[in-house]
Chain A
C-alpha cells in the first residue's frame, strides 16, 4: 500500500478576511509551501501577472478563478481549494470579503470544522473582523483561528499582537466560540504559516499549518442523539433480493447498531434494526457521516422524509419553528406572511413566515425589534409555520437536523439558510 492510501482525516476550513488583509496570499502560501501547486498553474499565474503589469508574481491569482474576477480584480464567489499533508486532507472554502460576504460565507462555511479569520496587524480588529467572527459562531463552526497577518509591517511586535488579542477576546465573550486560537503570521514572508517564525521568538504557539493538522475535530460530531433521515428506499427487483427493503440515508447523529430499538417518525411505529448494510457488507455500527442502508425487523410503511431515532431520544416533531435565518437573495426580501418552500433533512414542505421578531445588526449584535423585512445578507429571528411536521433539533445540538433552506417557489432559487432555535 502506498503512503497516500493510509487513512487520514479530512477537515473543512473556511477563510474570512476583509479585502487586502492577505487572505489570497495566505492560501497561496499554504498551497505553495505544502507543494500543492503545480508547475502549469504557477506558470499560468506568472503569465497573467505579467499581462496585468504586476511587478511580482501575484500568488492571489492562484485562487481567483473566473474571468470576471481576473478582469475586475475581485473574488466573486466561493471557491474550493484542496491540499494535503501526510497527516490530513484539507478542503478550504475560500470566501471573498466584500459586501456579499454574509451570503458567501454562509455558502462556504456551513459545513466547516474550522474558520480562519484574518486581521491586518496594522489595522487591528475592524467591524468586518467582528462580523466574520460572529458569522462563524452563528454557523457553529467549532474552531476559530484569528490569524493576525502582516506582522512584518509592525516589526513583529508582540505588543501589537497582544493588543489585538485582548480586544478580540472582549468581543468574543459575547459570542459562543468553543475554541479560539490566535496566531501571528506574515503570509507574504511565510512566518508562522508552515514553519515557526524566527522573527517572533516571543510566540510560544504552533504555526498555522501545525495547528490545522492537530486540532481535534472528530469529537465535534454529535454521537449522542441518534438521527437517520430516510433518503431513498432500496427495493431490488431481482428475485434473489426480492424481500430486501433497505432504508438508505446518511447518519446525522448518534450511533446505530443492529438490535437497537428505533421509532419511525412521523408514524410513531417502533421496530428493531435487523441489519446495517453497505455495498461492502454489513456493519456492526454506524455513525456520522456514514451513508448506509438500514433494514428493520418489521414491515412498516416508511418513505423518503421519514426519520429513524431512538424511542427515548427524539427530535421535536413540529410545524412551528423558531429560527435564525440569513437572507441570501437580492431579488426579494423576507416579510411576514410570505410563503416559501422549505427543505429540512430529506423533507420538503411549505412554510409561512408568521413573525419576524428582530433583525440582527451583524456588526454590533444589536437586535432591531420592529424590523419589517430582511434583505440580502440580513439575519433575523423568525417563526415559521410549516404544512407538514418537521423533525428538528436545535442547530447548536446538531448542524444537520437543525438546519434548513427556504426556496422561492416562483424562481426556484434558494433564498435563505435557517438555523433552528429552541422555541
Chain B
C-alpha cells in the first residue's frame, strides 16, 4: 500500500511506512478528523449526484471551492464528476484567479459555465453602484439566480462553512430555496442523521454545502495533506495596495482611489478571494501552505472579519444577503 495509509488511519504511530495489521488494531478503526470530514463531504456530493437531475458546483477559484471541487473529483474517481461548475463572474476579479480557474477546469476535465454580472448590467437587470466605493458584490445575487434559472439547476453546491459566520452556523447541509431563491431561516427542514431530503417542486432548488463542518484550519490542513494547488494570491507576494476601512485594498481598475488614500507596495496575501473591490489583503510573509497554517492557527480575527467589507456593513449583513438568495 502507498503513503496515503499514514494519513488515512488514525494511529498512535504516525509515520511514512505502511501501517501493519497490528498497528491498525491499536488504532481502533478510528479515522482522523480530516478523513472523517472528507468522507462526510464525499457522501453528500454522491447523494446529490444520485438524486438530482441537474446539479452544478459553484466555483470561484477561492480555496473553499477548490477544495470542494477536489472532493467532487475524488468522489467519482476514476470517473469524472457528473456535473458542471459555474462561476459567477463580477468582472472585477484578480487576473491570477481567472487564469487559475481556467487551468483548473481544463486539468480536471470539468465543464465551466460562466454567469457574468456584466451581462445583467448591460441588459439593465441591475444597475451598477456609482462612486469610489462602488462594488459589484451585491449584484452577484441576481446573476447567480439567473444562472441557476437559465441552466435549470436543481441542486447547487456551495463552499460555505458554518464556522465562517453566525447566520451560516445555522444553515443546513441541504438548504431549501423557493422559486425566488430565498432562504427562510425560520422554516428550515429538520436534518437528521445523514438522511438528506432534497425533494422540491419545479423551479425550487437546493443549495448544498458539503463543507459545512470544516473550519478554515481544516481547509488549510487538507490543502497541505492533499497537495492541492491554489491561486498564487493566497500566498505572500508584493502588491500595490492602499488602506481603506482598516483593510489593504489592491489598486485595480475596479477601485477608485479617494483623497488621502496613498498606494504603497507591501508584502501581503489574501485570506479569502472575492470581488477585488471589497476583498482586502492582510500583511503576511506566509509563502507556503505550512506558513499559512501557522498564521491561521495563530490568527485572532476571522477571515471574513479581516478581509470582507461586505460583512462589515452590519451585524446581520450576511443573513440579509442569504435570505434573498446570496451564496
Contacts and interface: CB of A to CB of B under 8 A. Distances in A.
Given A44-B315, A48-B315, A107-B191, A9 B10 contact: yes
A9 B74 CA distance: 22
Given A5-B225, A40-B302, A405 B212 contact: no
Nearest to B225: A5
Interface string A47-71: 1100000000000000011111010
B279 interface: no
Contacts of B43: 231, 250, 289, 291
Contact of B316 (A67, A106, A413): A67
Interface stretch (B31-39, B55-63, B257-265): B31-39
Given A66-B185, A80-B213, A232 B49 contact: yes
B133 interface: no
Contacts of A91: 213
Contact of A417 (B14, B80, B190): B190
Contacts of B228: none
A328 interface: yes
Interface string A395-410: 0000110011101000
B31 A290 contact: yes
Contact of B33 (A3, A10, A39, A255): A10
A299 interface: no
Nearest to B40: A289
Nearest to A4: B221
A82 B75 contact: no
A6 B200 CA distance: 41
Main secondary structure of the interface of A (DSSP, over half): mixed
Interface string B279-300: 0000000000010011001011
A194 interface: no
A3 B294 CA distance: 9
B91 to A, nearest CB: 29
Contacts of B76: 232, 234, 248
B301 A79 contact: no
Nearest to B4: A280
Contacts of A40: 301-302, 305-306
Contacts of A232: 46, 49-50, 76
Given A44-B305, A80-B170, A279-B73, 6 more contacts: A7-B10, A7-B14, A250-B42, A278-B74, A346-B47, A412-B200
Interface of A: 1-10, 38-41, 44, 47-48, 64-68, 70, 76-82, 84, 88-89, 91, 103, 106-107, 110-111, 218-219, 221, 223, 231-232, 234-238, 241, 244, 248-250, 255, 277-285, 287-291, 304, 328, 341, 343-344, 346, 399-400, 403-405, 407, 412-414, 417
18 contacts: A5-B293, A7-B7, A9-B30, A10-B32, A10-B37, A41-B305, A65-B170, A77-B186, A84-B215, A103-B190, A111-B193, A218-B30, A231-B43, A244-B78, A250-B194, A285-B24, A399-B193, A400-B194
Interface of B: 1-2, 4, 7-8, 10-11, 14, 24, 28-40, 42-43, 46-47, 49-50, 73-80, 162-163, 166-167, 169-170, 185-186, 188-195, 197, 199-201, 212-213, 215, 217-218, 220-221, 224-225, 290, 293-294, 297, 299-302, 305-306, 315-316, 319-320
